[in-house]
Chains A and B, each alone.
Chain A
């Protein structure tokens, strides 16, 4: 029976050191550490994220209620922002069903923070500063490129006008193994992004990819200057996705509409529909201050810091050992 940890004790010491550096960074920046529930009565509806679900039975819920293990602490943290918390961060566990691979584990460590009054640009430079501090790489440069420009440069495609068959043809030209796939438009974009573009990003510098297509806005607001795009960015380093950030959607009605659309998509794909977080919507209706927020994968940051390419070797006990 293999009972030993996947990470060496030196790696676990480096992990503890990294967590300390992150907390020190936010202490210096005057950002408040918060803790919100891991087991929530409602979660995200995003069709691309499947929650792990557990159950509570007892006082308050005699016949039991499902509890959704959070896929990110986003909704609860936004409720704190609406309550006037000011800049906040959380360093804790997040859970996602169905995700396991060299860079995925169903339970992982997520650093998420929110900056009232920040636009994406200011938050991106804070992310870059934090990564330099965490990696102890003060000279690590950062570059910015839009999602549309990436597709133009690497694939000669216009993401706004390319048809599903254009996208399929581009994918097929690079990998014959996709011939049998039947995908929706955004899923073809995801495939091209993850298999073709992502591995080339963040080589020698942090790559911030900005202005995602509106179909991939998730919880970002749309850009006023070009509503075909959303104020969403991602950070890639050495071909690995490290962080995802938004200028946050603050419009409760628009948010409620996205939840409904998510659940319709879920129903159409045969995925379970999920309860909408009404407390979160109520907080938005009461007023979420304009803000930007970002979530960063801490395990992947540690992998990069130590030059390790398998999540199993930076965690004490990954899925198979848990």
Chain B
């Protein structure tokens, strides 16, 4: 906890002259804003631990303001605001399992699954004869996100997307 916000430690470098004061140079990420900060502490200094846990939650629905999640084991429900959702709003749909960071029991960060399968709601008809893409074209997905897809992909098809890069991976096989 720093200045009232929870942080995750990314790097922690111990520096100490043989006969002198020891320091820890720490790189931390603000779990709410995602901003990375560098800070130097005197070694042995105490910082309040943040009550932060990562849990797997199932996405249920969006009520216009909040995104609702449920713990499939305890059936406990959580609601995340747009700030906590971040990029995940572009990718999640009902039933998806997401990694959610809870701070004092409240979602502060939501990670979409690495790969999601989504249906294309709108894309220009492709040119005949094109098999593997090349240039590609924009396609709007059922969640509203827009990704570039190969020319042969058509409206109504389901595709697999890598949510970390926001890129098309493949046609989804029927599951």
Contacts and interface: CB of A to CB of B under 8 A. Distances in A.
A295 B37 CA distance: 37
Chain B interface main SS type: strand
Interface stretch (A21-29, A98-106, A132-140, A157-165): A98-106
Interface stretch (A58-66, A189-197, A221-229, A279-287): A189-197
Interface stretch (A83-91, A113-121, A176-184, A253-261): A176-184
B43 A98 contact: yes
Nearest to B38: A177
Contact of A194 (B16, B38, B41): B16
B21 A183 contact: yes
A191 B21 contact: yes
A288 to B, nearest CB: 20
Contacts of B40: 175, 177-178, 181, 191, 195
Interface string B1-36: 000000000000111111111110110000000000
A180 B13 CA distance: 18
B23 A191 contact: yes
A100 B14 contact: yes
Contact of A218 (B19, B38, B41): B19
B42 A183 contact: yes
Contacts of A104: 14, 16
B126 to A, nearest CB: 51
Nearest to B12: A101
Interface of A: 46, 48-49, 98-104, 175-178, 180-181, 183, 186-187, 189-191, 193-195, 198, 216, 218, 234, 241, 244, 295
28 contacts: A46-B19, A48-B17, A48-B20, A49-B19, A98-B43, A99-B14, A99-B16, A101-B14, A102-B13, A102-B14, A103-B14, A175-B38, A177-B26, A177-B37, A177-B38, A178-B40, A181-B40, A183-B42, A186-B20, A186-B21, A187-B21, A194-B17, A195-B15, A195-B25, A216-B19, A218-B19, A234-B17, A241-B18
